Structure 1
Amino acid sequence: MAISLSWISPCLSHKLNLPHSNCLPRNTATSSTSTVFCALETTPGGESHCQRRPLLLGIGALTANLQPTNLVFAQEKSDRCRVFLDYEDGYSYIYPIDWKEFDFRALDSAFKDRYLQLQNVRVKSIPTEKKDIRDLGPMEEVIYNLVKHIYAAPNQRPTIKDMQEKTIDGKHYYTFEYILTSPNYSSASFATIAIGNGRYYTLIVGANERRWKRFRDQLKVVADSFRLLDI
């Protein structure tokens, strides 16, 4: 499935939010426009500007690489999500069109529901000398250590529900579902981790556990859409 790029300007930002036809449902209708939003960056003097560089990847490629079950789910939805492309850090993913961008603890990118603040997606990357996610060790061991020792706070009980490994265009990804239970609160999330471009990437998309049953399948589409770009 390809999407026409005829409306895109020859010069685009290294970080792009592009309309995408495969998306997640919302209870309230949201109009979709063919608009390219470039990420604003702030100079030391406080002046905002938009850095531009050529578009390198057709957005149809992201759609084509979705897992079959999630692609079928996504194709049933109307135009309510965007593709986020970051050519500087080398990754892309989709997110609901009516989520808004936010800054949180030096994340590479993050978007959250306008009304449900705890329903969000966030991506972070750190330098690594590893070449592939498999270099970290067996999937079960890597995920267990992450959830138990990194993601869970001391007062939280972690539960891992599912683990998946996938290979797309020779790149390997681990995607897993987990729940963090506190005495007064529980959250559920999907995470996708991968290594490439000399960086270790983590995408986490989650919600309050009370809403998880309703939105789980939709948020899984976001987790499965994460792709490494060659930079």
Structure 2
Amino acid sequence: MAASSLSGSWVSSLPKQLYMPNSPSISRSNAIPTSTVKAHSKEMHLNEKGFIGRRSALSGIGALTASIFSGSFALAEEIPENFKAFVDFPDGYTYYYPSDWRDFDFRGHDSAFKDRTLPLQNVRVSFKPTDKSDIRDLGPMDEVIFSLVKNIFAAPTQRPTIFDIQERTTNGKNYWTFEYELASPNFSRSAFATIAIGNGRYYTLIVGANERRWSRLRKKLKVVADSFKLLDI
């Protein structure tokens, strides 16, 4: 798998639609841009046992507001309009979330935000210890993500489909972001996930929504997925 030669650039090395074994074709009628966002929900029943579940409070040194974030880090890019920045210095990560979302406790996750009126639209971050130093140490990108979605994210009654996988390299750190759908007989959800390794931890960000709202929210929510970055601790 070829790495990107440009810091912060995206490399899409796989077809736009990738299907899990025994999964029928599901088409996306809308074009798939590479610079937008999405949220995720409790309906996915993720089996993420082993992830560290301590959540940093949105006050004090653990997590800072967007204004402190921009002042402290002197970001080259501005925080997008209608987004805020979440920064967790002790746990070593940061990301953007929609400014009208509110924080909440999501069991087994370190931080989480959800829509004020539609709580199934949300973003959450978890991490667990690892002896790996880079996401590429886990193995081939497509194989790792297929296994993650099928065996960890999807419940036994859900049919998983992966639509796109991308690699991003920012400040020497590699990130894998992918779009997927979990379909049940009566309900389907779509999400973006970004995974990365650093600080002796394997980080996972998931942001998604139910399938009927996905086409309206997709661009907004991919901003969240693409914004995830690790901090050195």
TM-score by length of 1: 0.71
Task: Give the aligned partner of residue 146 of structure 1.
Answer: 148
Whole-Å separation in 2 of the counterparts to 1:57 and 1:123: 22
Select 1:110's aligned residue among 109, 112, 115.
112
Residue by residue over 1:85-122, the C-alpha shift from the partner in whole angstroms, topping out at 9 and shown as x without a partner, is 00011000000111011111131100000011110000
8 Å CA contact 1:119, 1:206 repeated in 2: yes
8 Å CA contact 1:100, 1:112 repeated in 2: yes
Select 1:16's aligned residue among 60, 64, 71.
64
Pairs within 5 Å for 1:68-217 = 74=80, 78=81, 80-217=82-219
Please state whether the residue corresponding to 1:15 is helix, strand or coil. coil
Aligned partner letter, 1:107? H
Residue by residue over 1:19-73, the C-alpha shift from the partner in whole angstroms, topping out at 9 and shown as x without a partner, is 5xxxxxxxxxxxxxxxx69xxxxxxxxxxxxxxxxx9941524x37xxxxxx9xx
Between structures 1 and 2, the one with greater strand share? 1
8 Å CA contact 1:108, 1:123 repeated in 2: yes
Aligned partner letter, 1:58? F
Structure with higher RCO (Cα < 8 A, 6+ apart): 2
- Equivalenced residues, count: 175
Whole-Å separation in 2 of the counterparts to 1:212 and 1:168: 27
In the TM superposition, structure 1's runs of 4+ consecutive aligned residues that sit over 6 Å from their partners are none
Change (3 A) 1:182 1:59: farther
Aligned partner letter, 1:134? R
8 Å CA contact 1:59, 1:83 repeated in 2: no
TM-score by length of 2: 0.71
Task: Give the aligned partner of residue 51 of structure 1.
Answer: none
Change (3 A) 1:135 1:155: same
Aligned partner letter, 1:125? F
Whole-Å separation in 1 of the counterparts to 2:65 and 2:213: 26
Deviation of 1:13 (Å): 2.0
When Rg is computed on C-alpha atoms for both structures, the one with the higher figure is 1
Identity of aligned residues (%): 63
Please state whether the residue corresponding to 2:66 is helix, strand or coil. strand
Deviation of 1:14 (Å): 2.5
CA RMSD of superposed structures (Å): 2.2
Q: Where does structure 2 lack aligned partners over 5 or more consecutive residues?
A: 1-58
Q: Where does structure 1 lack aligned partners over 5 or more consecutive residues?
A: 1-10, 20-35, 38-54, 65-70
